[in-house]
């Protein structure tokens, strides 16, 4: 089992009704990634979709993927593509449950947003993940 130092929270920076298959297709065809960007993706209805097993390395944060688990919600931007925490109540609930489980499984891991890593110039996940999950 690989060492997990971070549980990284992301947004897709897409409309909330973006299909998971379209996100995966973008990674494969446009970015030419062999691995997905996240381990878990949460749709607007709160369904958690596992895109990769936790033993696999995903492409969530350059330079930090070997020791990270990546969780994302579909959304995170407004109609003008500006950062916005537009998680639905169902997404918030599922994310909380999933991060709680991951934190129990990897108690030493720090929960933080993509934006909280050095040299990252993104607003992702469009909210303060450290603060939101500081009680875990």
Residues facing residue 50 across a β-bridge:
40
99's tokens: 């991060």
CATH class of 6-132: alpha beta
Residue 48 has pLDDT above 90, yes or no: yes
pLDDT of residue 28 exceeding 80: no
- The pTM of the full predicted model, rounded to 2 decimals, is 0.93
The stretch 26-41 carries a mean pLDDT of: 82
Cβ neighbours for 49, distance < 8 A, ≥ 6 positions apart = 20, 40, 41, 42, 43
pLDDT at 92 over 80: yes
């Amino acid at each position: 089992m690989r060492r997990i130092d971070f549980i990284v929270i992301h947004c897709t920076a897409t409309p909330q009704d973006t299909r998971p298959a379209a996100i995966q297709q973008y990674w494969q065809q446009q970015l030419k990634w062999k691995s997905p960007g996240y381990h878990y993706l949460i749709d607007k209805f709160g369904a958690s979709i596992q895109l990769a097993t936790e033993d696999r390395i995903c492409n969530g944060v350059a330079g930090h993927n070997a020791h990270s688990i990546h969780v994302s919600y579909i959304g995170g931007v407004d109609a003008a593509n500006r950062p916005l925490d537009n998680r639905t109540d169902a997404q918030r609930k599922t994310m909380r449950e999933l991060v709680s489980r991951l934190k129990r499984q990897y108690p030493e891991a720090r929960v933080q947003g993509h934006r909280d890593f050095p040299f990252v110039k993104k607003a992702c996940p469009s909210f303060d993940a450290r603060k939101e999950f500081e009680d875990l």
